[in-house]
Structure 1
Amino acid sequence: MTPDGSARRPRPFDVATALAGLALGLLLWAVGLETYPARQTPSWWVLVPLAVMSALEPLRRVRPRAALAAGTVALVADQFTTGSLVTLLLFTDLLYAAAVYGSARLARRLPVVTGGLTLAAIAWGVLTWRDAYSLMLGLGVGLAVFGPAATGALVRHHRDAARAARREAEQTARLAELDRAQAVNAERTRMARELHDVIAGHLSAVAVHSTAALSLDDADTSREALGVIRENSVAALTEMRRMIGLLRAGGEDLEPSAAPTLEGVAPLAEGVRAAGFPVTVRLRLRPGAGDDAQEGGARLPSPVELAAYRIVQESLTNVLKHAGPGPVTVAVERDGGALRVAVTSALTAPGGRPARVPGAGAGLTGMRERALLVGGTFEAGPQGGGWVVRAVLPVPDGEG
């Protein structure tokens, strides 16, 4: 396409239209069907404007302005012959194409100019003949010039509007993808920061117990200290491998922060209760234990526990933003080699009450990223008249 939106080469359809128009014009001339048969001019003269107009038809998209200018000259020349209806029809097509494929400035001017010509024809006819024929003359001029120009301008306007809508939709999609990528990156950075602090805790324990083993000349104490050092070293290496998998190339500085645990779910629930939602919390972090059993036994792997906590936290935040009035249930349960997280709340209130805060989906993206990074699964959506968030986070064998 050229800068004004026209094509670089003639379209096969336009060439076919030109050939068909020329053939039809020759047929009408051969049978003697002329627009002004009473004029005393050689009949073959009508073929010259017809041939010129047919030659201009393939240029309707390639050079719309030049084709219209030359076509106007050919149409004026046709008025001094016996006239051909095909020449006029081809000119209306050139006028339409100039409005559609020409410059925006030309598309705006053509309806104004042709409308002025139509009014001038009506005025001239009324002043000259003072009868109904003058109105018919104006109507004919309007159909021949103003109609194609106005139609072309209208089609161009709709095409431009559709093109702008597509660009806006593409831009919106790009922004949504950018927001999603930013949410994923932020979640990865946050997880890396938390694992960084867990690793720092393990290494601190290694340093303290190694110092004790070196300073005390006692075999039992040294053996106990070495056991603790080995345990914390292995744990630190495991967490280090996970953190390296989360960090992007050229990552960010990791500021110290308190690593949250599932023991913090209860304070989160209290905050939601304060907002007027009845919240029920079920924690079972050891296989076979009853509800609220979370003390004792080996702890869950830090990445799994952090992911579960953040999923519950974001789910309860979404309850405050979007949920309708109703009970909220938080269940975090250890089931064999997996930790299952489920948060259930009510949908928005009947009657279409809007959410308190409109959402952009970044929270769901972050929760899904949390679950996927530890090898788990995540799903969220309406179910049974409510909204359910579910995550299954695997606990590696020999951990937790």
Structure 2
Amino acid sequence: MIAKLHLYLVDLAATVVIGVLVGYAMVEHQDKPWWLVVPGAALVALPVAVRRWWPVPALVVTTLATVAVVVGQVLPVVALGAPVGAICFALYTVAVEHTRAWSLTGLVGAVVAVSGVSGGEPENVLVGVAVLGAVWVIGYTTRLRRSMLAKETSQQAEQALADERLRIARELHDVVAHNLSLIAVQAANAAHVRSPDHAYEALTVISETSRVALTEMRGLLGVLRSDADLAPSPGLAGLPGLADRASLAGVTVALDVRGDSAVPDGVGVSVYRIVQESLTNVVKHAAPASCTVLVEVTPEAVRIDVTDDGPGVKELGVGHGLIGMRERVAVYDGTFGAGPGPDGGFRVVAELPIR
């Protein structure tokens, strides 16, 4: 708002200067009475003050007023500089605000008018064409630059939206894969055991895991609603809950979090999801097994080491789990590794720098 006010003050100052110069030229060279000087100078200069609101009418009025005061011998031809300045102000705004067809029409009309009242001398015509043409080029170039900037801003907004949707999709994948894996394991246990107590225990785990999954999914999908009351993003504080749920699915988890748990929110979410996906893989491919989760926080980085003693794998799959973990680490220019452990089992190691 303040920047616009400055622009309007510049237009007002230009109006005053042009009006004074035109009025002075009328009195000095033609010795005209005030009742001709004031309206003539006003018609030439005042459109500059309103050119940002009405560019085309401002250009038309100031051009016709210039022609009228020169043809009516109220203003001498030698004093055309100030009126041409007013025309330039209006023409620039038309070139910036309107299409090329409109602005070219205004340019041609202004050139014809100025050339017609300048006496028809070739040098005067060339000067008029050069000045008005340069003003039009500057205005049209400004229009193109603003259009490109607006397009770039729009593309950046679309990219940000796409990135946010990708983030939500990744979060949903992690939530669904982890919790459905726990549910699948417990459902299989409930189907095979003969003891009602074990079946009841498995169903309890399924119930609790389903409730957690629904809560997380509501929170993530709530990002798409402006009126959503979202829960805090998961972080290092949520790691014990992950360990407990994995333990219920038959994986004994030893969790060790070292250092200050106060890390940036983005890093905390990434650490949480990497540990979650690692435990999901242990539940799906190695349960029952034991698993060690080490999260070490230093002032420079967060290091994650998840190792299990399961049967391991001969070849790494191409599922979205490992890809998602790599992408999360790549966002922070960190390092990631996954593969068979030195003593068997499977190991996931990641390091996320803290910027």
**Unaligned segments of structure 2, at least 5 residues:** 219-249, 254-272, 283-288, 296-303, 308-319, 339-347, 351-355
Letter in 2 for 1:13: L
1:238 aligned residue: 205
In structure 2, distance between residues paired with 1:337 and 1:73: 81
Cα displacement string for residues 85-131 of structure 1 (whole angstroms, at most 9, x for unaligned residues): 32321221011112212x32xx4332366358759988999xx98xx
Q: Name the SS of the counterpart of 1:62 in structure 2.
A: coil
Whether the aligned pair in 2 keeps the contact of 1:118 and 1:139 (CA below 8 Å) is no
Q: Which amino acid aligns with 1:92?
A: C
Closer, same or farther in 2 for the Cα pair 1:70/1:341, shift >3 Å? same
Q: Which has the larger radius of gyration?
A: 1
Aligned equivalent of 2:61: 70
Instruction: Name 2:278's counterpart in structure 1.
Output: 308
Deviation at 1:73, TM superposition (A): 1.3
Residue 340 of structure 1 aligns to a residue in which SS? strand
1:205 to partner: Cα distance:
4.0
Alignment partner for residue 171 of structure 1, among 144, 147, 158?
A: 158
Determine if contact 1:382/1:388 at 8 Å carries over to the other structure. no
User: Whole-Å Cα distance in 2 between the matches of residues 28 and 124 of structure 1?
Assistant: 15
Alignment-derived partner of residue 88 in structure 1:
84
How many residues matched? Answer: 256
Give the C-alpha shift of residue 333 in structure 1. 8.6
User: How far off its partner does 1:57 sit?
Assistant: 2.0
Cα contact 1:202–1:233 (8 A) shared by 2: no
Whole-Å separation in 2 of the counterparts to 1:66 and 1:26: 22
Identity of aligned residues (%): 17
1:42 to 32, 51, 62: 32
Distance 1:387 1:340, change over 3 A: closer
CA RMSD of superposed structures (Å) = 4.6
Q: Could you tell me which amino acid in structure 1 is paired with residue 210 of structure 2?
A: M
Contact 2:96 2:142 in 1 (8 A): yes
Report SS of the residue matched to 2:252. coil
**2:266: which partner in 1?**
none
Answer yes or no: is 1:13 the counterpart of 2:3: no
User: CA separation in 2, counterparts of 1:337 and 1:140?
Assistant: 78
Please list, as runs of the form range in 1=range in 2, the aligned pairs for 1:1-400 lying within 5 A after superposition. 11=5, 13-23=7-17, 25-26=19-20, 29-30=23-24, 37=29, 42=32, 44=34, 45-80=36-71, 81-83=74-76, 84=79, 85-101=81-97, 103-104=98-99, 107-111=100-104, 114=107, 134=122, 136-206=123-193, 208-210=194-196, 229-230=197-198, 233-247=200-214, 248=217, 299-300=251-252, 307-308=277-278, 334-335=291-292, 340-341=305-306, 366-367=324-325, 379=329, 387-388=336-337
Instruction: Compute the TM-score of the two structures, normalised by the length of structure 2.
Output: 0.56
Counterpart of 2:306 in 1: which secondary structure?
Answer: strand
Query: More helix by proportion, 1 or 2?
Result: 2
TM-score by length of 1: 0.50
What do residues 280-328 of structure 1 show as CA deviations (whole Å, max 9, x unaligned)? Answer: xxxxxxxxxxxxxxxxxx7436x9998326669xxxxxxxxxxxxxxxx
How far apart, CA to CA, are the structure 2 residues paired with 1:150 and 1:305? 59
> Given residue 308 of structure 1, which amino acid in structure 2 is its aligned partner?
S
Q: Tell me the distance in 1 between the aligned counterparts of 2:137 and 2:274.
A: 66
Structure 1 residue 50: Cα displacement: 2.1
Aligned equivalents of 1:49 and 1:74: distance in 2?
7
